[in-house]
Structure 1
C-alpha cells in the first residue's frame, strides 16, 4: 500500500513510520507546518510544530530512506483549531483542541489531500488500536488517545493506521533507541501545542482583552470576587478563582455566563450533575439503536463511567450518568465506549456537551 506517514518530529510518529516501512508499505513522510511562527523553538516538552520538530522528522525520514515533505497548513490550523478555541472560550465553553485538530486537520485536510494524491492510508503515532475497522483503546492506558480520536468517522478510520496501539510507550522508546533515532529520548509534548508557555489564560487575554465581571457564590447569591474575563475559567475548576468566602470551604466553578460575564462558584455538594445534553453525535461505526447502555468519558484524562444514552433534543443525545459527575463543562466531548466488560475498550462515537441537566431536571426513561 502507498502510505502517508504524518511525522510530527516526536518519537511516536517516528516509530509509526518505521513500522509502516517494516510492514512493506511504500511510505512517504510528511511534516505538518501548523504554527505561524515556526522559527520559535519548543521549550522542553511544551509545544510542537516548531522548526526543530521539522528537522527531527526529516532526520528520521532520511534514516528510513523515505521521501519527505513539509505541508504548510498553518492558515487552516489557525482557522479550524486556534480561532475555534478562542471562540469557544469566549462563548463560555471548554473545547478540546487536540480533538478538533484530529477532526479538521489530520483526518480531514491531510487525509483528503493524501487520497487525492493516490495514497491508500495515513499512518500516525496515536496510541489507539484499530481492529477490524473498530477504534479501540491503546493497551497502554496511561498513553491512550482514543478519546481525541472519537470524532472520526468509519470512512476516516478505514484509511487510518495506528501501529502503536498494541504496545506501551516504553516499548516505543526502546524501538526508537534500537534504530538509533535521535528522538528516542525526546520528551513528549504537553499542554496545548499553540500555547507553548502553558499560560492559557494569558493567551486568551491577549486575544480577547479585558472583560471584567463578577464571581457569584451559588449558595448565598453574593458576589465573592471579580475577574478579567470568563474565558479564564472552566466548569469544575477549583484553583485560581480569586474569591473570598467566610466559611473557607473550597469553591468550584459551577457555571459561566459570557453575556453577563458572570462566573458562578459553589461548594462540592453543588458541583455534581446527573446527566448532560449534547449536540449531534458522530459515530465511529454503525449508528446504535437508542437508548443503550455505555460508558462515557467526559475529559481526555477522566475515568470512564457507566451511563445510559437516550435520544435528545435536535438530534443530540441525553447522557445519563450512573453516578453524578463533577467538572462536566459545555464544549467538552462526551466520548462513548461499549459497556460490555470484555469489549469496553471499543469507541462508539462522541458528541459535544451542550449543557448539564439540573438535579431537578427530567432524565430519560
Structure 2
C-alpha cells in the first residue's frame, strides 16, 4: 500500500515532546533525591556511565533493526517497554531507602528504548511528511523539546516545594508520559514500504549501511559536524556551572538562568526555521556554527555574567538551527531504506564522543576556568575549517 505523506502529523509531533517532558522531569527528581539520600553524586555518575554504554551499543545496532522491520512497531514497542520499566521499577523502589538496583535497571531499559525509538521516529518522518514540510516539522518538533527542557525543572521544582511526590511519584509520572506517547504513536497511520530486496543479516546490513554513508560526502560531513558540535556543547555545559560557582558568587539561580536562556535560544532557533521556507543548505550550518564560535570567544575574553548570559542564548540559538537543519538534510539526502542506519551512525557519533569530551574538558575547565570558552571557540573554528576543506577536496 502506498504511503500517504502530509505537510504535518500531530501525533508524530506530540509523542517526542510528551516523553521528553516526562524523562526530563524524572531526571530532575532522580538527581535531587539521589544526592539527598546519599550525600554525593557517585551513584548518579555510575548511572550515567552505564547509560552511556547502553546507548553506544544501542546506536550501533538500532539502524539495522529500523531498516529491516516495521518502524511504527519498533517505536511503539520501545515506548511500551519504557512504560513497563517505569511502573515495575516504581513498585520495586523503596523511596525511603534508595538503592542502585532499580535505578540502574530502569536506566538500561529507558536507554534501550531511546536507542531504538528515536532513530525509528526520525526515519518515519520522510515517509509521513512531504519534502516541503520537513524542515518546518523538524523545527516545530525541536522547539517543543526545548520547551519541555524549560518546563520540566519548573514543574519539578514546584512539586518538590509542595512535597507532593517522592522518587516513586516521579517514576510514575515518567511512566505516564511514555504511556501517552505510546498512544500517540499507536494512532499514526503508517504502512511499511514494500522492499524488493531480501532482509539482510546484521553484519551485512551494518557494512552496507556504512558503505552507503561513506560514499556520500554530504552525509559524512553532517555526521562529523554533529559529533564536533555535540562534544563542544557538552563542554560548554560544564563551563557554565563552574563559572557560576567560581566567578559569580555560587548563586544557583544564576545557573538556572543560564540554562533557561540556553533553552530559550534553542526555541528561537526552532521558530526561525519554522518560518524559513527555503530548502536547508550546508553553508547555512557553517554560518551558524561560526557565529556560535565567535560568541564563545567573546565570552571567554570578557568574563562578565551578563555577557555569558547573552552568549548562552546565542549558542543555544545556533546549536538548535544546526541540529534541525542537519536532521532535515540527512532525511533529504538518504534513501528511505537506509534512514535507520544513517540515524544510527549519526547518534553513534554524538553519543560515543560526548562522554570523552566531557571527561577531557572537565580537567581543562579546572585549569583554564573561563578561558576554556576561548579553547572551545577556537576548536570549533578550526574544526569547521578542516571539515569544509576536506569536503571541498572530496567533491572537487
Using the size of structure 2 for normalisation, the TM-score is 0.22
The answer to which structure, 1 or 2, has the higher relative contact order (CA under 8 A, 6+ apart) is: 2
Higher strand share: 1
Using the size of structure 1 for normalisation, the TM-score is 0.24
